[in-house]
Chain A
Amino acid sequence: MVRFKHRYLLCELVSDDPRCRLSLDDRVLSSLVRDTIARVHGTFGAAACSIGFAVRYLNAYTGIVLLRCRKEFCQLVWSALPFITCLENKGHRYPCFFNTLHVGGTIRTCQKFLIQYNRRQLLILLQNCTDEGEREAIQKSVTRSCLLEEEEESGNG
């Protein structure tokens, strides 16, 4: 079958400054990634990667980003992500970096991975949290996610 194949890169934006994630916008992010690819891979890289490039999902609270690119140029985009060192928005510069969590062929596989990843992150947060109120809130989310997991498994099986 003849179709355009894509790769979806699931990344996490890690930064010390809490304002950095909140100022994330899909246009800001898209221009940042395109500029970095142009710097690292030149005019050829910029042109090749920008054909099928899109920011498909963006979560400002957790900093999760889903980028789409053509399958042939996935390596170019992936190798340019570590060169992103700071996010500039309205004159403020925030140092940050991108952590690639998963590369998938479809949005659905990336979503499945993200659900499992978030469950594991909740458990890690539960271990690390210090405040009692926070602890209760996280415990409630963990029990809710476990119930949903059981429902999913019984629905699939």
Chain B
Amino acid sequence: MPAPAATYERVVYKNPSEYHYMKVCLEFQDCGVGLNAAQFKQLLISAVKDLFGEVDAALPLDILTYEEKTLSAILRICSSGLVKLWSSLTLLGSYKGKKCAFRVMQVSPFLLALSGNSRELVLD
């Protein structure tokens, strides 16, 4: 007797995460410039608005953590807007007349991956 056909189900996830998480740091040419969280978000949105217009400035962008001393933050953006956000951060040159630049340290579709960065690992 032939064996009964085995049935199985295969589930393929093409893009498991709807959001992408970015760890960024803002560097100014001169020191002594401080921004609070609201000003930081306003800077991000104005960067996207300059390059991609009002439609893309309305993308759901969240700042998950923000440190005022080091001016670093973890951002969350939906996956379709990642390229637009990253390119507008690259092209942002100044804040209120002072030269600055965004350094993107880590990008991942999973938030857990941002908790450990092998580049910052210190070997004793």
Is the pairing of A and B real? yes
Report A's interface with B, CB cutoff 8 A.
38-45, 79
Which residues of B are at the interface with A, using a C-beta cutoff of 8 A?
A: 48-56
- A43 and B51 within 8 A (CB): yes
- For the complex of A and B, the 9 pairs showing the least CB-CB separation, nearest first, are A42-B53, A41-B53, A42-B52, A40-B53, A42-B51, A45-B53, A44-B52, A44-B51, A43-B51
Contacts of B49 in A (CB 8 A): 42
User: In the assembly, what is the distance between CA of A38 and CA of B55, in Å?
Assistant: 11
Query: What is the CB-to-nearest-CB distance from B82 to chain A, in angstroms, rounded to a whole number?
Result: 15
CA distance A30 to B52 in the complex (A): 20
- Residues of chain A contacted by B51 (CB below 8 angstroms): 42-44
Min CB gap B111→A, angstroms: 29
Least CB separation from B57: chain A residue = A42
Q: Are B55 and A43 in contact (CB-based, < 8 A)?
A: no
Q: List 19 A-B contacts (CB under 8 A).
A: A39-B53, A39-B54, A40-B53, A41-B53, A42-B48, A42-B49, A42-B50, A42-B51, A42-B53, A42-B54, A42-B56, A43-B50, A43-B51, A44-B51, A44-B52, A44-B53, A45-B52, A45-B53, A79-B55
CA gap between A38 and B51 in the complex, in Å: 9
Cα of A39 to Cα of B55 in the assembled complex, Å: 9
Residues of the A chain whose Cβ atoms lie less than 8 Å from the Cβ of B53: 38-42, 44-45
- A40 CA to B52 CA in the complex, in Å? 8
Complex: A44 Cα to B84 Cα, angstroms: 10
Task: Tell me the complex Cα distance, A79–B56, Å.
Answer: 13
Q: Apart from A39-B54, A43-B50, A45-B53, list 8 A-B contacts with CB within 8 A.
A: A38-B53, A40-B53, A40-B55, A41-B53, A42-B53, A42-B54, A44-B52, A45-B52
B50 to chain A, nearest CB (A): 6
Query: Measured between C-beta atoms, what is the minimum distance from A112 to chain B in Å?
Result: 33
- Closest B residue to A43 by beta carbon equals B51
A121 → B minimal CB distance (Å): 33
A101 and B75 CA atoms in complex are apart in Å by 42
CA distance A107 to B53 in the complex (A): 30
A50 CB to closest chain B CB (Å) equals 14
Cβ-defined contact, B54 with A40, below 8 A? yes
Tell me which residues across on chain B come within 8 A of A43, comparing CB atoms: 50-51
List, in ascending order, chain B residues with CB within 8 A of A79's CB: 55
Residue of B nearest to A38 (CB): B53
| B-side contacts of A45, CB under 8 Å | 52-53
